[in-house]
Amino acid sequence: MSAHQPERRCVGCGRRAPQALLQRLAADGDQVVVDRARRAPGRGAYVCGADCARTAVERRALPRAFRRPISNDQDFLHSL
């Protein structure tokens, strides 16, 4: 019997994948940051990579995922 691997949904493309294969984003105030340690408090959003993060920004999916307003600043994209 194999161990359970949590799955998450990419907010950019909608693909479901094991959590370990996705990048976690977190809200720090009204800014989006890449949460490499996966330990930032609050709600997280997951993306496959930079392309999906751009798609999520274009679709305005991040404010929905974080359930609060997010700045339109896209500096976090360079961190992916």
Cα angle 19, 63, 27; round to 5: 60
| Residue ranges, the chain, pLDDT below 70 | 1
Residue 72: predicted pLDDT: 79
Residues 69, 47, 59, CA angle at the centre, nearest 5°?
50
Give pLDDT tens digits for 9-31: 999 999 999 999 999 999 999 99
Q: What is the pTM of this model?
A: 0.91
* Res 12: pLDDT: 97
DSSP readout, 26-74? EEETTEEEE-TTS--SS-EEEESSHHHHHHHHHTTHHHHHHTS---S--
Domain-by-domain residue ranges, the chain? 7-79
For residue 74, the number of C-alpha atoms closer than 13 Å in the C-beta half-sphere is 11
Q: Provide the CATH number for the domain formed by 7-79 in this structure.
A: 3.30.1230.10
